Amino acid sequence: MRAADAVEGFDEGIRLVGFGRMCPVNILHSSLMDERTEGDAMYQYEAETEAGFIQQLAVSYLGHRYCFYVTGEIPATKDPATIDAKLIARYGIGISRWARARRKKAGLANMHYLRFGRYFVLLASHGKHRFFLDEPHSRDARRDAIRFAGYSISLKRGTDGRLHPSVRIHPDEYRKLKAYLLDLALHRSVENLSAVFAAVRFERYAPVRRQLLNILRAVNRLREQAGFEPVPVSALRLQRRVVRAFASELADAA
């Protein structure tokens, strides 16, 4: 679900094109209007880095069950800060953690907004919210993964039966990466291949680690059949970096 159309000509009284109808402003629940000023000045939404965006999206937002979403890209002709402010105000996003707790207790949904560069995602939790009237075709991260920068980001059920954030290399990117490394398998030294594996740009979330281990095993099968030394597992750099998502770490997904 792309939201490029959502910001074209965005203004009060203009619907989010391509994402269903816009409900009248007066349908906005009064609690949103009362609470939206509680946290506006503190609300953080612009990620410093790609890695920070993914970490905040997966761990802080999907991990707290903000699973309904739409995504989009702000056109070059639009000022991101202006769009940010309008979307945050429109959906009453910049509220305090205490206001979020009150809304959750009352059966109302909460929302988050996150942007990196010109790409953004709007996320909502379970409950009543004008977002679901505006966006009847919003997606559910439990069924439809968010695709961003070659990643596939979703909520999946683990062996414990509980839902957990899942960050993996998107299947299209995975196939390209695997084909590239298999092509190098018999034409590079162990040292060179180790450096190539270590430089793979994807952050080492658990599903990514499993994907890279699968590629390494496939590469080593070819090398062993040809009588070459295998590439050691230590080449994979399996530790995930924990990064700072925002310039000032004030956001709270509660």
List alpha helices for 91-143, DSSP H.
Answer: 97-105, 130-134
Range 11-22 average pLDDT: 35
Please indicate whether residue 58 or residue 238 has the higher confidence score (pLDDT).
58
pTM for this model (two decimals): 0.81
**What's the CA gap between 115 and 122, in Å, rounded?**
9
The rounded percent of the chain whose pLDDT value lies above 70 is: 81
In the chain, where do the E strands start and end? 68-73, 111-116, 119-124, 139-140, 146-148, 151-157, 163-169
Range 76-93 average pLDDT: 96
Q: What is the pLDDT of residue 236?
A: 94
Residue 192, token pair as written in the block:
């060179």
Range 170-193 average pLDDT: 98
Please indicate whether residue 125 or residue 241 has the higher confidence score (pLDDT).
125
Split at pLDDT 50, 70, 90, the class of 247 is confident
**What's the CA gap between 254 and 252, in Å, rounded?**
6
Phi, psi of 140 (to 5 degrees): -115, 120
Contact call for residues 92 and 35 (beta carbons, < 8 A): yes
Contact call for residues 141 and 65 (beta carbons, < 8 A): no
pLDDT at 39 over 80: no
